[in-house]
Structure formats: C-alpha cells, structure tokens
Chain A
Amino acid sequence: MISIVDYGAGNLTSVQRAVSHLGYESLITDDPDRIARGDRIIFPGVGAAGSAMEVMRARGIDQAMEEVFKKGNPMLGICVGCQIVMERSDENSAVCLGLIPGYARMFSGKMKDHFGQRLKVPHMGWNGFSPKTEHRLLDGIGPTDEFYFVHSYFPEPAAPENIFGTTLYGVEFASAVGRDNLFATQFHLEKSGRPGLLILKNFCVWEP
C-alpha cells in the first residue's frame, strides 16, 4: 500500500487518481503512525513550504518522514514535496526536513529569455528535463519529454550528486533531486501525461 501524505498542501486526489490509474492502491493520510509504517510514501503538494512544514510539525509527520527515510522505504516528493526535503526554504526562511543538504530558492523576477522578454514567475507550464544521472525512476524518459510545472521556488542541493535532473528557466535549476531511497520532482508527475505517469509507475515498483 502506498501512503499519500496529507500535510494540508492542496488537493491530493489528483495524485491518488494517477496512482490508481496505474493499478496501485493508495491511501491519503495525515496519521504519522500510518505514514511511518507505510511500504512507500508519496508527498505531493502545492503552496508554501513554510506552512507545509508547520502542519507537518503540528501533526508529527516530520518525524514519521525521517523514520521512513532511515528505514529505507521508497519516498517520492512532488512540487512542494521537492522543496521541503531540503534544509531550508527561502520562503519565509522556513526550516525544512533536511534530508538533502541545500536550500530551496526563489526565481528572480528579473530573469529574461534569449529574446530579452521578461520571464514570468511563477514558472508555469510545460518545460524540458535533462537527466543528470541514471536512475531507476528515470527509466524510459527521453530527451524530448516535457513535464508540467507550477512553482516559484526550486531546490538547490549543495552536492551535485543529489541533482538527478535539471530544467532551464532563466537559470538551470534542479527539477529532480534525491538520495538513497528518496526521489523528488519539482514538476507534477500527475499532470505531465505519459512521461509523468511513467516516473510514477517506476516509483510504484522501485526497490532502492
């Protein structure tokens, strides 16, 4: 059974629908015991890292997540889930889970594209992805695959080995990060069509 962690950061049913479309059962839960006991966990979410962390701490979910990480069970973060695995976020200087050394940064509002047009923040829409490493979850992902993004912050791991793939938007930023049994994408796997579902499917059978 896959646990989808509910930490008050948006509508989680779209992730659950995608998982069930792939033929896997899941449970949306905010119960730290259930999360700690889960075979594999997904933590999606939209919104602010700071308020997500507040909810996590209030409900004891942060400790459950650390437990799952130490146990070595597969963990998948999506969107805000990809930011809260860092040590801190620039968003209200929030202290995060610290599973990956580094910070979540905000896009500058002054970025321009190569035609000199101002790039809009949030970064919203379909964009490319360059894998930086071979990884079980990226099996079958090709150079032309694109993913759906909606975000103003992005993870900035301190160590290059924690960067699994990058995307260009004014800057080249880490759009997939991880280590050991943890994988996290800044893009929405549940809204990215075929390649998104493929990564999700790879996660459902991943044995790190």
Chain B
Amino acid sequence: MLSKRIIPCLDVREGRTTKGIKFENNVDIGDPVEMAKFYYEAGADELVFYDITASHERRDIMIDVVKRVAETIFIPFSVGGGIRTLQDMRTVLLAGAEKVSVNSAAVKNPDIISQGAKAFGSQCVVLGMDVKHVGNKPGIPSGYEIVINGGRTYMGMDALEWALRGQELGAGEICLNSIDADGTKTGYELNLTRLVSENVNIPVIASGGAGTPGHISDVLIEGRADAALIASMVHYGTYTISLIKEHLHEQGIKVRRA
C-alpha cells in the first residue's frame, strides 16, 4: 500500500524563501536549500518549490536554487511558478527537479500539458489548479471555478472538467489549491478535494487551509486526497513533520516513518 505523502511547500522569490520561519538549530530561514535539507531530514516525503519571482529575467536564480537543492536532498521535489514553455520545463527538470508544475500557463495553453507529458513522461507533469467556490453559476456545473492571478481572474472553466481534461492531456498528478481556504488555517476544502479525487485516476495533492494535523487527516480520509501540501503550520515551527505523521498514524493512515 502506498503511503500518503506530506509535502511542505516553499515560496521562493529571487532565490530566498519569502516567509520568515522560527527554526532553531541555526537553520537559515531564508535559504531554500537549507530549508529543503531541514525538511528532508525531518521526514518530508516530497517538496514543492513555488517560484514567485516577478520577472522572467531573474529565472536563472531559481534554476541555481533547483540545482543546489538537487545536490542536497534525495527525495522527489517539484518546481512551479512561471513555467510557460516546454523549454522552461526542460530547464527545471535538467536542473534536477523530479516534476514540474504548470498552472495558469496550462489554462491559457492546455497543449503544454500534452507536450510536456510526451517529452518527459506524465510522471513529470503536475497540473496545478487554483479553484474558487462559485455555487450555482452557468457553465460551472460543479460549482467550483478555475481562477488565475491569485484568484483575481475567473476563467469560466469548471474545476472538475478541467481536472479531467488535464488528466486526458497527460498530467500525471493534480495539485488542487482552494483559494477560499488558502491562508485561513481552518482546514482544506474537503468537498472540492473529494469531488476531484473520486473522479480522476491520477493522484491528487490537496492544498490550501492546513492549520492542524487534524485538517490533514480529514483531507486524506474524507477528502480522499493522496497527499497534503503544508506550509505555515510547519514553517513557523508550530508543528513538526514527525508530529503530524504520528497523528496520521494514530488515525490509521499509512505514512512513511523516516
């Protein structure tokens, strides 16, 4: 049986992680490579780096980070943010990332999913989805709509339909982020997660809203997610990976005890 995965997410801007972190043990809280090492040793199953560098010209800084992370940790990690072309994907994968995540670029140009899957294999291509609950709205049968620009732009696309289309195009995994839950620390969007997880055949990583270990067990059990993305609950030292996994284990969820 596969273990459910716990995946810390690091936001990187111009080579530095953007959230301050209260680590002890002399970890440089702004250095993504040191943080990657910290989480690797703490038992994270995978890592996600999200490049929020504003300008395309500064992308080489991120590539350097990816290379240094790849020399330091020996678990899979993915890189997302600003991936627009097949060449962007190639650069990130050659630098040592296991997977590359496409989000708004795929919304604007779905072919990038199939091109990436064909060139590098489906297992390398993660479809990142930002989703908002819109309720009863024409053209959005599931009640969940795809948004971009941090939730400011509604795309008129149904989230479930887009997930199924992404799978058909060759995405190997979906990272499903609820914009409504993101940053609230009040729990994942369970209905959305369950809806997508039960309808696709590829793994779903739940994202947005994690505040306690209980939220994670909820989304893995009720939400049927394969993995949970976490950020501030571990970045600020409130919880450790091993404490979270201890809780999940007690709930009967299979996790890797590193």
Give chain A's interface residues, CB within 8 Å of chain B. 10-11, 13-14, 17-18, 21, 46-47, 113, 117-118, 120-128, 144, 146, 148, 150, 168-169, 190-194, 196-197
Number of residue pairs across A and B with beta carbons under 8 Å?
Answer: 75
Tell whether, in the assembled complex, residue A125 and residue B226 are in contact, meaning their CB atoms are under 8 Å apart: yes
User: 9 A-B Cβ contacts within 8 A?
Assistant: A10-B121, A21-B71, A46-B121, A113-B1, A122-B122, A124-B123, A127-B1, A193-B258, A196-B74
Of B2, B40, B71, B96, which one neighbours A193 at CB under 8 angstroms? B40
**Contacts A126-B3, A126-B256, A148-B76 given; 11 further ones with Cβ under 8 A?**
A13-B96, A14-B98, A117-B224, A122-B122, A122-B123, A125-B203, A125-B227, A126-B2, A126-B45, A150-B123, A190-B74
As a 0/1 sequence over residues 230 to 257 of chain B, the CB contacts with chain A under 8 angstroms (1 = contact) are 0000000000000000000000000011
* Known pairs A11-B93, A126-B256; A191 contacts B2 (CB<8 A): no
Task: Enumerate chain B residues within 8 angstroms of A47, measured Cβ to Cβ.
Answer: 121
Q: How would you classify the secondary structure of chain A's contact residues: helix, strand, loop or mixed? A: mixed
Within 8 A of A (CB), among B59-78: 70-71, 74-76
Does B140 reach chain A (CB closer than 8 Å)? no
Q: Which residue among A13, A126, A148, A150 has the maximum number of chain B CB atoms within 10 Å of its CB?
A: A126
Instruction: Kindly list the 7 A-B residue pairs having the minimum CB-CB distance in the complex, ordered from nearest.
Output: A126-B3, A146-B256, A125-B2, A126-B256, A150-B123, A191-B76, A193-B75
| Across-interface contacts of A122 in B (CB, < 8 A) | 122-123, 172
Check if B121 sits within 8 Å of A126, measured CB to CB: no
Query: B residues within 8 Å of A by Cβ?
Result: 1-3, 5, 40, 45, 70-71, 74-76, 93-94, 96, 98, 121-123, 172-173, 201-203, 224, 226-227, 256-258
Shortest Cβ distance from A128 into B: residue: B1
Contact yes or no, A120 B202, CB < 8 A: yes
Q: Contact at A127–B2, with CB atoms within 8 Å?
A: yes
Known contacts A11-B94, A127-B1; decide if A120 and B74 are in contact (CB<8 Å).
no
Q: Which residues of B contact A144 (CB under 8 A)?
A: 257
